[in-house]
Amino acid sequence: MKLPVYLGLLHRCEHTLAESFRQVADGHGDEPDVYFLCRALADQCEKHERALQPIVERYGEVDKDDEPERLHADGLSSTRSGAVGLLRDLQDLYLLGSLVDITWTMVKQAAQGLRDAELIGVVTRCEAETKTQLEWLSTRMKQAAPQALIVAE
């Protein structure tokens, strides 16, 4: 069974996303909404990691798979500055969040196949929050993009 591979992937990418949210918060402290929300969303990602724990205990998780990673989603190495820098950092978070989102979806498919009510419950709660994270990032970027791309210096 390869579900542990996906549980490992999910665990890692929630962890990466949490760290990246925290990094963007610290790097963009002059944008109070970004600062406070990214910190809250980092906490949310860590909550998701904890929610996965009992599932991982049952199924195990695989750190390294025989299918090697082709696309590396390592998180943000550092944050950028300025209006376009903010946009790029939020966009990177969006990419990481999308990976989390689709991974939850795959795990949910497996959970349904396994008729695992506990796992379905965990996925349903976390997946909805991940979607809202993506919606917030999109809302915030749409607001910032014209100013950043047209008039910012």
Partner 1 sequence: MVDRIADIWGTRTPYAQGEQWPVRVDQVLAKGLTGQDVDRWVQSACVLCSNGCGIDIAVKDGAMVGVRGRAADRVNHGRLGPKGLFASWQGVSNKDRLARPLIRENGELVETDWDTAMGRIVSRSKALLQEKGPLSHGFYTSGQLFLEEYYALGVIGKAGLGTPHMDGNTRLCTATAAAAMKESFGSDGQPGSYTDIDECDAIFLYGHNMAETQTVLWARVLDRISGPDKPLVVCVDPRPTEVARHADVHLPVRPGTNLALMHGLVREVIRNGWIDEEYIASHTLRFEDLADQIEQWTPEAVAAECGVDASAVVEAARIFGTSRRVLSTVLQGFYQSSQATASSCQVNNLHLLRGMIGQPGCGILQMNGQPTAQNTREAGADGDLPGFRNWENPEHIKELAELWDVDELVISHWAPPTHAAQIFRYAEQGSIKFLWISATNPAVSMPQLPRIRGILSKPDLFLVVQDLYMTETTKYADVVLPAAAWGEKTGTFTNVNRTVHLSEQAVEPPGQARSDLQIFLEYSRRMDFRTNSGGPLLDWEGPEDGFNAWRECSRGRPCDYTGLSYERLRGGSGIPWPVNDEHPDGTDRLYGDGTFPTHGEDTEDYGHDLTTGASVGPQAFKAMAPNGRAIFKTAPYQGAHETPDGEYPLRYTTGRTAYHFHTRTKTGRAPQLHDAAPSMWVEMSPGDAESLKLREGDQVRVESRRGHLFAPVRIAGVRTGTVFAPFHYGYWDDHEGEDPEQHPTAANELTLTEWDPVSKQPVFKTAAVRVTKVADATGPAPAPTTTASRPARAGRVPATAGGAAGEVSETIAPAEPQAAAPGKEES
Q: Give the DSSP letter of residue 121.
A: H
138 binding partner 1? (CB under 8 A): yes
Length of the chain: 153
Q: Give the DSSP letter of residue 109.
A: H
Name the segment binding partner 1 (CB under 8 A); options: 2-10, 17-25, 29-37, 62-70.
29-37
Smallest Cα–Cα separation from 27: which of 87, 74, 72, 95?
A: 87
90 binding partner 1? (CB under 8 A): no
- Least distance in angstroms from the C-beta of 48 to partner 1: 15
Question: What stretches of 29-116 show up as alpha helix (H) in DSSP?
Answer: 32-59, 82-113
Q: Retrieve residue 36's tokens.
A: 């406070």
Among 82, 112, 117, 124, binds partner 1 (CB under 8 A): 82
53 or 132: CB nearest partner 1: 132
Among 41, 55, 99, 119, binds partner 1 (CB under 8 A): 41
